[in-house]
């Protein structure tokens, strides 16, 4: 019987990180083009800073907890 290969428990997190980074870069570009050099406001800071960081932190904790549960 073939041996079961170990999967990287954080692979989904890395994929999510790449997708979120691409989206943040795209929206940062759009905000800078639409505002014509206007400095970013509070909403832009939330959309481009806080939301992705919170999402990635929660996703990391969930996947890490799931990987630890699978080891037990």
What is the pLDDT averaged over residues 49-65? 88
pLDDT at 13 over 80: yes
Q: Which of 47, 14, 18 is nearest to 30 (CA)?
A: 47
pLDDT at 64 over 60: yes
Q: Is residue 63 part of a domain?
A: yes
More confident of the two residues 10 and 17: 17
**Structural domain count of the chain:** 1
Give the predicted TM-score (pTM) of the model. 0.67
Band (18; pLDDT cuts 50, 70, 90) = very high
Q: Is residue 62 part of a domain?
A: yes
Question: What are the distances in angstroms from CA 18 to CA 14, 62, 69?
Answer: 6, 18, 26
Predicted local confidence at residue 2, as pLDDT:
53
Domain that holds residue 44: 11-71
Q: Is residue 5 part of a domain?
A: no
Q: Is residue 4 part of a domain?
A: no
């Amino acid at each position: 019987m073939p041996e079961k290969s170990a999967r990287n428990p954080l692979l989904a997190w890395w994929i999510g990180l790449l997708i979120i980074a691409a989206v943040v870069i795209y929206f940062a570009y759009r905000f800078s083009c639409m505002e014509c050099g206007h400095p970013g406001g509070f909403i832009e800071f939330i959309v481009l800073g806080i939301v992705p960081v919170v999402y990635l932190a929660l996703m990391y904790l969930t996947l890490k907890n799931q990987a630890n549960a699978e080891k037990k």
